[in-house]
């Protein structure tokens, strides 16, 4: 099968996810940056629909190009590869940052300290995501906390308990962020906080923290995925740095497809 066949077979269409995602924006940028993609389109819908389309294509050994990211179970479930991105549109290694509203340090120093210390590895996040395939995220997060008491103790060491102070964490609606937000929720509740989780689009997440509607978020993907949103509100929130390193976004295809680079897609 030639690459031209592959491209026409999938009707020059990349199977995307939610319109508001950072990766959707990056994919639109790729359609502009890569000359060979000038006639291509991104079809957005939802993460669930993308995963269904990917599974169906793989069942039939058909070609498909999706917007994909790690950590994600799709890489454990299927044999997949990222297409090389010589123009660097999707960035390299991404990290996930923690941002808080201005004044949080003064208003809730205990939560601020815990959020500032919150840091874990992709394998930790993956274990919560995997457990959450069978139980809800809250239980999966509780299980991770129970099994990682030493790490949690490093985050909470010397922090005074509080008595029911409400705190609102803003997250984006993907499993990676459901994992971190729910683990933060369990840890902050252990400390005596009354935690609300509010899922929103990435642009709204930055706006909410900038305007003080939400207290904190562990969901910004940087330096590339959410850069445009970050820059729009830069200076209006406090960046507490990385909570996870080793994430990635890009165009993803089944390994049986005979292409390696975005440049191999035919115009």
| Residues that bind ligand PBE in the complex, under the rule CB under 6 A | 17, 21-23, 69, 172, 174, 176, 202, 221, 225, 249
Decide if 47 contacts 201 (C-beta within 8 A): no
Query: Please, which residue, 112 or 221, has the CB nearer to ligand PBE?
Result: 221
Minimum distance from CB of 202 to ligand PBE (Å)? 5
Q: Residue 149's CB: how many other CB atoms inside 10 A?
A: 9
Query: Please, which residue, 91 or 202, has the CB nearer to ligand PBE?
Result: 202
Query: Please, which residue, 10 or 252, has the CB nearer to ligand PBE?
Result: 252
Please state, in angstroms and rounded to a whole number, the distance separating the CA atoms of residues 30 and 20.
Answer: 16
Minimum distance from CB of 158 to ligand PBE (Å)? 32
> What are the strands, taking DSSP E only, across 208-237?
216-217, 221-222
End-to-end, the C-alpha distance of the chain in Å comes to: 16
Decide if 66 contacts 38 (C-beta within 8 A): no
Decide if 228 contacts 77 (C-beta within 8 A): no
Minimum distance from CB of 229 to ligand PBE (Å)? 9
Minimum distance from CB of 108 to ligand PBE (Å)? 26
Query: Please, which residue, 147 or 231, has the CB nearer to ligand PBE?
Result: 231
């Amino acid at each position: 099968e030639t690459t031209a066949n592959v491209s026409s077979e999938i009707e020059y269409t990349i199977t995307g996810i939610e319109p508001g995602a950072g990766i959707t924006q990056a994919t639109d940028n790729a359609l502009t940056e890569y000359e060979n993609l000038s006639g291509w389109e991104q079809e957005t819908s939802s993460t669930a629909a993308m995963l269904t389309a990917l599974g169906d294509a793989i069942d039939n050994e058909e070609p498909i190009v999706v917007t994909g990211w790690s950590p994600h179970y799709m890489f454990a479930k299927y044999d997949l590869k990222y297409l090389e991105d010589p123009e660097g549109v999707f960035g390299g290694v991404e990290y996930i940052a923690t941002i808080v509203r201005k004044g949080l340090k003064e208003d809730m120093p205990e939560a601020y300290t815990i959020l500032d210390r919150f840091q874990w590895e992709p394998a930790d996040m993956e274990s919560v995501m995997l457990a959450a395939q069978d139980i809800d995220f809250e239980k999966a997060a509780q299980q991770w906390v129970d099994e990682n008491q030493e790490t949690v103790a490093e985050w909470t060491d010397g922090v005074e308990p509080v008595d029911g102070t409400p705190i609102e964490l803003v997250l984006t609606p993907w499993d990676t962020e459901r994992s971190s937000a729910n683990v933060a929720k369990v840890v902050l509740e252990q400390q005596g906080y009354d935690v609300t989780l509010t899922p929103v689009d990435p642009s709204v997440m930055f706006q909410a923290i900038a305007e003080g509607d939400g207290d904190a978020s562990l969901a910004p993907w940087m330096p590339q995925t959410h850069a445009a949103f970050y820059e729009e509100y830069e200076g209006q929130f406090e960046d507490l740095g990385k909570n996870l390193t080793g994430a990635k976004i890009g165009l993803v295809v089944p390994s049986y497809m005979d292409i390696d680079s975005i440049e191999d897609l035919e115009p």
